Amino acid sequence: PGNPHKTLHCQVSGYSLTDNSYATGWIRQREGKPMDWIFHQWGGGNFYQNEALKNKFSFSRDTSAGTVTITGQNLQPEDTAVYYCVRYPTVIQTNTNLYKNSTAMKAKHSLRTEKDSSIFLHKLT
């Protein structure tokens, strides 16, 4: 922050953004706070986003280039975070948590990843 607008780009590898076996999206980790799910989009196009953040972030993807972009508008000091581009190899609706390797992280939209798969593809600050 200090910059009211910020754009982050993520180049994925090892899979196609159009492969509906995968969802790609963004999450963030603010210091001392639970992890925030921001959005994810399936290869087939189905898109889900955190309603509480929908006026804060916009998204785009370029399937031919394999890039997913997030743009923050009117960013405030409380938006200071590590932002992660993430892939969900297998996502299953659960109750109230985002799970990675059995570690619960609070998120508005509940997701579960495969036990042995890493969801962190790209770390951006």
- Distance separating alpha carbons of residues 56 and 22, to the nearest angstrom: 25
As beta bridge partners, residue 68 has 10, 61
The average pLDDT across 62-66 equals 96
Q: Is 113 contained in some domain?
A: no
Evaluated on CA atoms 46, 119, 38, 9, the torsion sign reads negative
pLDDT one-digit tens code per residue, 15-60: 999 999 899 999 999 999 988 999 999 999 999 999 999 999 999 9
Confirm whether pTM is higher than 0.85.
no
Q: Which residue has the higher pLDDT, 3 or 75?
A: 75
Q: Is 98 contained in some domain?
A: no
Q: Is 94 contained in some domain?
A: no
Model pLDDT, residue 4: 74
Residue 113's closest CA among 9, 104, 12? Answer: 104
Within a 13 Å sphere around the CA of 73, how many CA atoms are in the beta-carbon half? 7
Confidence of residue 103 (pLDDT cuts 50, 70, 90): very low
Q: Is 67 contained in some domain?
A: yes
Q: How many domains, the chain? A: 1
Q: Is 112 contained in some domain?
A: no
Q: Is 1 contained in some domain?
A: no
CATH number, residue 51: 2.60.40.10
Q: Is 108 contained in some domain?
A: no
- Residue range(s) defining the domain that contains residue 50: 6-89+118-124
What 8-state DSSP symbol labels residue 21? T
What 8-state DSSP symbol labels residue 96? S
Predicted confidence (pLDDT) at residue 74 exceeds the cutoff of 70: yes
